[in-house]
Structure formats: C-alpha cells, structure tokens
Structure 1
Amino acid sequence: MTARMSTTRKLFIVLTMWLPAVALIVTRSLWIAELPAELPTHWGASGPADGASAAGPFFGWMLGISLAAAIVGTVMIVAPVRGKWVQRATAGVIGAVAFFPLAMWITSAAPSRGVTDPYTVELGAWFALLMLAPAYGLLPLVIYPKIDNPAIEVVADAEVEPVELEPGEVASWSRTIVSKMFVIMTILLTVLQAAIYIPVIMTEGISHLHWSVIVAVLVVLLVAAFCVYRVSVDWRGLRVTSGLFGFPIKRLSPAQIVKAEVAEINPGEWGGWGYRIAPGRSAIVLKQGPGFVVTQANGKLFAVTLERPEEPVSVMQGLLDASKRRGDGKGLGPNATSELGE
C-alpha cells in the first residue's frame, strides 16, 4: 500500500518551498546598504556585465516568482487534486522553480556588494549557483513518502506468440527510434548558443570566449545524445544505445529478464518524456501509446515506447524460452540468426 503522508512530512515539504523566498528577504535585508541602485542582470560570453536592472524591481520580480511557486506547491501538497506520482513529480519541479529566483538574486547581488558601477561586476563562480536549482528540487522528493509503482496497463488484445527457435538457432530484432522533442531542443539550443557566441568570436576573437561556452557545448551534446536510440534484441538480451554517439544506455542479459509484455505507456506513470528513471522503474518515453515493458529479475521495470512492440516482445519471449530449455539462463550463442525489425 502507498504510505500516507503525515502532517509533519507535509510541513517539511512545504517548508522547503518557502525557504527560498525567506532567504531572498533575509539576504536583501542584510545587503541592502551595500547594494548599488542597479544590479547586473545579464552577462555576455566574457567579461563584466553588459546589462543591469533597478535593484528594487528586480528583487520584487524574484520574490514574486518564488512566492508564487511556494503558494502553488503548498496548495498541491495540502489539497492535492492529482495522482500521487504527478503530485510527487510536481513537488520536485516547484521546489526547483522556487529556488531559481533565489539563485538569480544571489548571483546578481552577492558580487555587487560595495560596487557603485554594476557594469564592472563579473559573473565568476556565482554562475554555478544557478546549476543547483534542479538539485534543490530533489529535497521535496527525498521527504515525500515512498509510493507504490502504478500498475502497468498490459494490452489485453495483444496476443504475442514467441518466436519458435530450433536448437542452436537464435533471432534478432533492432530498430532506430527518434525523439522529436529532443531533436527540436537540440536545434533550439544550438541556435541559441550560436547567437550568443558567434558575435563574440567575430568581434573579439575566440580567445575572448567565456568558460561558460564549455558548459553550453556539453549541454547541447547531452541533449543531442538522447535524440536517437538504437533498440536491439538478440542472444545477448536487450540493448539500448545512443544512436548518435553509440554509448550504452541500457543493457539487460537474458538472465536479467523475467518477462516482456506489450503495454500502453503513460508518460505520467514513468516520470515524463525522454529517458526517465523513477523508483523501481526506468523508461524511454517518446510519446504516449504503445510500447513494451520488461520485468527484470530484481523486480524493476524497463519500458520503451515504439510502434509495433509485438515484434521485440515476440523475439524476447522466444529467446527466453530457448534459454530456459538450455537451463543455464546465460543467453544463447549466435550459431544461426533469424533477423527481424528494421
């Protein structure tokens, strides 16, 4: 059964959402005498700030965003109107949203203390504080009680017959699947980074690039890595690799697989879209709809959304049956191969 959330636990989760707003007020009260009338709010690819905003309105916006996130989060925790998994995930997101304005405020205000000209302030290591916002969002998730995994909706009318294999024969299946969302994100990030850094290179030269360009390139490459997936099923088990860079994302040997089923994949039950990891389950969710779910020997689940999931499930079931007949559960040798898929 799902653990019922106690009042004390609710209060702690709500507290994590209000702490950033409190920290905003406290830091402004402590620093107000040292801050200039304007605060730096934008930095180019290198050097000091190239944009500034009036300190009062900037603080007001940051506090308003943080307070709004805290209020929404409090309502969701005290009077939830959605399922437990959605509520849990949203609590984490709201925690990160509430912290982000605090990170922006400190990044701008902390290095500006005692400075009269905001355009002389350099970003420096304070930029790293903005990276902590997602980590802060983990606090509500840690405090939230452990909940049961929602049941998998197995497709009842999907009659899958295992591939029949003769002794010494195996089968293989493979397909390349593309995440349109991550492709669009990669293109947008590339265009954005180009718009930021190319003018600097053209006017000042590549030597003037800020160290943040390294972070920007790594972010683009990380997102691009999840644009294309190669899913394969053969005598080695189930393998998922990055279609662009080739590194493994998921590997399951036949000994690690208990069963494979055709199912309807609901992103909300797996933590959203993309490569998702949740307690007791992980998945590659590119859309809502058909896919297959693999139950592992340790009880964990792994799912992939794709068209015609009956094909890989049939091959997996056939390979598992053949492995059981062998009695070793270690997989099969590639003596003879029947290829399926694309």
Structure 2
Amino acid sequence: MNGLRRALAILTLWVPAATILWTWMLWKGRLPAHLPTHWGVGGPADAVTSAPVFLGWLLGVSTASALIGSIVVLAGRLGEWGPRATGAFTGGAAALVLGMWLGSTVPSLDVPDPFTVRIGAWALVTLAAPCYGLVQLALLPRGSTPPVELSADADRPLAAASLPARPWSRTVTSRLLLGATALLLILGVVLFAPSAARDGIGALGWTAVVYLAVVLIVAAFCVFRVTVDARGLRITSGLLGIPLKRIAPAEIAAIEVTTLEPMQWGGWGYRVMPGRSAIILRRGPGLVITQHDDRQFAITLDDPEEPASTLLAMAEGAGASPV
C-alpha cells in the first residue's frame, strides 16, 4: 500500500507540468504572441512577455519541482518525514506555477491585444494553488520520528513549585528571524519603491501583496510570548498575537530542563515534525515537555527552571505524574 501511495504522489507531482504543456499545445493557435504577466490593482495588464519565453520559464520551473520531489520521494534519504515535506513543498510550487500559467493564458484566449486582458478571479486561483501540496502530504506515508534522547542537566535540579504556583511570562526573540525580516523589508523597498514612486501604490499589484504576506509570516516567528499559568503552557507570536502552541497541565507526562541542540530538533526556528515540535532560537538551555501521547515540545529559554517548576506543580495538581 505504501508503494502505491508513493507512486501516486510522484504522479501527482507531474500533473502541473503536464497540464502546462498540454494546454499550450491545445491553445497556442488561440493565444497572442505575447502573454500578460503583470497587472495593476483591478486594471488590465501593464506588462507582457513573449509566449514561448513565458512557457519555457514556467514549464522549466514546474518540471524541476516535480523532478526534485520525485527524486527525494524515491530515494528516501531524508528520514521518514523528509520525503513527505519535500513532496508537499515541490507539489505546491509546481501548482503555483500552473496557476500563474492559467491566470495568464485563460483570460487571453482569442484576445488580440494582451494589454486589454484582466486577470479577475484567476489571481485568487493562483494564490490558492500551493494548497495542491496537501495532496502529496496526504498520499505519502506519515512515518514516525524517534523521540529525542534527553538527559536532564545535573547542575539544574528541578522541583515542583509550592502551590499555588504564580504565573510566569517571558518574551523570547529570534535574532536570525529578526534579521531575515529586516532583510526582506529592505529588499521589498528596493524592488517595489521605484514602481510605487513612478506609478503609485495601486500599480504594485498582486506581486507586492504576496511579498508582504511572506514578510508577515516570517515576522510572526521573530518574537514569542511564553506564558505559564493555570491553563498550562501557552505560546503566541509576540508581533501578531497569533496563538502558536498550547499544552494543558493534564496533558504533561514529563518535564525536563536540558541543553537543546538545534539539529536534534530539525534546525532553528519553529520546527514541526511527526511526533515532536520545537521553537529553537540557539544552542543552549531550554525546556522539553513530553505529553502522554509521547509527543515532545521543546523551546529555548534562559533560566528555564522557574517555568519548568511551575508547570510541574500544575501538572501534579491536575493529577498527572510528570518525571
């Protein structure tokens, strides 16, 4: 069964590239020599590209995405979760390119002047196209990730705080992601400011909207607010206030204070893998929680003993028996 699902996942990776090629052969007599490739907000196209050149770029990107995804899925060299993540990413990338192709060609059918083409609802189709990666995510075997072997720091004894435990809250920051956000903002100014100054903000179009969305996603993971109270552990995005993680006291089976190694948890940043997740900002002290279903969560914290002791007391008060 797993072999069949892998084969279907690989087949679906090639659907976007095959669709681009098939529609080109079907429609090339009905398309103008140049295809629209950029639109202002609500207006007709304001930039065009040679149809064969546009086809070559998009077909090349979708084919490369499918090829990379197929090789990784077949090789299985990135552990049990690597092929699944790669398949979903490359499938979504190939579908995004297909959305760009359809958004340009379908409105251009039988239209002699590409500068009169309006993208309309196809812009939304293009933005939603990466969701196609969920197909590969569903088809590829979920697998399992072995738990990280932990050894609590000998010089950091952990004991339950006296009840009632007082709430604890801290803000933790990722310098790496703060730098990445700043770099993206500077790059955005360089890319879009000349066009905005020349033609107005309305001329930036969907490209600027997508770019801003990427910046906001990165910014959301720059600063985290960590809170421990009667509801357990809660983590939210410090900049956007989006809840990212919540663990109730009754769900806690074990709490450990240890030194976190980024590569054990999949690298730096907010990492999610089957069976475990983590917010890793650097190598150093942190808190690791194991839940009753054996899932693990780790977060980098300076002086993690206090929140660990508070959580330990609350877990014991909830009837759990954390280690």
The normalised TM-score by structure 1 is 0.78
1:86 alignment partner in structure 2: 82
The answer to whether 1:226 aligns with 2:211 is no
Letter in 2 for 1:99: A
CA deviations over 1:172-223 (Å, ceiling 9, x no partner): 5433211234323433444455556655665566677757766665554444
Helix, strand or coil at the partner of 1:123: coil
Residue 15 of structure 2 aligns with which residue?
19
Matched, 1:31 2:27: yes
Partner of 1:162: 158
- The yes-or-no answer on 1:98 pairing with 2:102 is no
Contact 1:89 1:271 in 2 (8 A): no
Q: CA 1:77/1:242 → structure 2, altered by over 3 Å: closer, same or farther?
A: closer
For the 8 Å contact 2:40–2:204, the answer to whether it is kept is no
Alpha-carbon distance, 1:134 to partner:
2.7
Q: Which whole-Å deviations, capped at 9, do the CAs of 1:139-176 have from their partners, x for residues lacking one?
A: 1110112212322231354554234544x442454332
> Which residue is 1:241 aligned to?
236
Give how far 1:104 is off: 2.0
| Cα distance between partner residues in 1 of 2:76 and 2:35 | 39
List gaps (5 residues or longer) in structure 2: none
- Contact 1:162 1:316 (8 Å CA) reproduced: no
The equivalent of 2:280 in structure 1 is 285
Q: Equivalent residue of 1:83, what SS?
A: coil
* Cα distance in 1 for residues equivalent to 2:90 and 2:204: 34
Structure 1: 5+ residue stretches without partners = 330-342
Once the two structures are TM-superposed, the CA of residue 44 in structure 1 deviates from its matched residue by 4.3
CA gap of 1:97–1:120, structure 2 versus 1, over 3 A, is: same
Q: CA deviation at 1:24?
A: 0.9
Provide the rounded CA distance (Å) in 1 between the counterparts of 2:91 and 2:44.
Answer: 30
Amino acid of the residue matched to residue 230 of structure 1? Answer: R
Q: Give the stretch that moved more between structures: 284-293 or 227-236.
A: 284-293
Is structure 2 residue 134 aligned with structure 1 residue 138?
A: yes
Of 45, 59, 65, the residue aligned with 1:69 is: 65
- Is the 1:171–1:319 contact (alpha carbons within 8 Å) kept by the matching residues of 2? no
Aligned partner of 2:6 among 10, 20, 45 = 10
CA distance in 2, matches of 1:299, 1:320: 16
What number of residue pairs does the alignment pair up?
A: 320
1:312 pairs with 307, 314, 317, which one?
307
Q: Does 1:301 align with 2:301?
A: no
2:148 & 2:137 partners in 1: Cα distance?
Answer: 22
SS of 2:244's equivalent in the other structure is strand
Which letter maps to 1:244? Answer: L
Q: Is the 8 A contact 2:158 2:257 kept in 1?
A: no
Q: Which amino acid aligns with 1:9?
A: R
The TM-score, its normalising length taken from structure 2, stands at: 0.82
Which residue identity lines up with residue 120 of structure 1 in the other structure? Answer: T
1:139 is paired with a residue whose SS is helix
Task: Report the CA distance shift for 1:114/1:134 in structure 2 as closer, same or farther (over 3 A).
Answer: same
Q: Deviations over 1:308-342 (max 9, x none)?
A: 54453344334434x26xx5x7xxxxxxxxxxxxx
Q: Which residue of structure 2 lines up, in the alignment, with residue 335 of structure 1?
A: none
Specify whether residues 52 and 270 from structure 1 end up closer, same or farther in structure 2 by C-alpha distance, changes over 3 A only: farther
The answer to whether the Cα contact below 8 Å between 1:45 and 1:212 also exists between their aligned partners in 2 is no
Partner of 1:177: 172
Task: Calculate percent identity across the aligned residue pairs.
Answer: 45
Superposition deviation, residue 298 in structure 1: 4.6
SS at match of 2:30: coil
Q: Measure the CA separation in 1 of the matches of 2:14 and 2:108.
A: 25
Deviation at 1:51? 2.4
- Whole-Å Cα distance in 2 between the matches of residues 223 and 188 of structure 1? 11
Deviation at 1:38, TM superposition (A): 1.2
Give how far 1:66 is off.
1.7
Name which of structure 1's ranges 140-149 and 242-251 shifts more when overlaid on structure 2.
Answer: 242-251
Aligned-partner SS, 1:131: helix
Counterpart among 117, 123, 142 of residue 121 in structure 1: 117
Change (3 A) 1:202 1:260: same
Give the superposition deviation at 1:25: 1.1
**Mapped pair 1:112 → 2:86:** no
Counterpart AA for 1:24: I
Which is worse superposed, 297-306 or 132-141?
A: 297-306
Q: 1:184 to 1:147 in 2, by over 3 A?
A: same
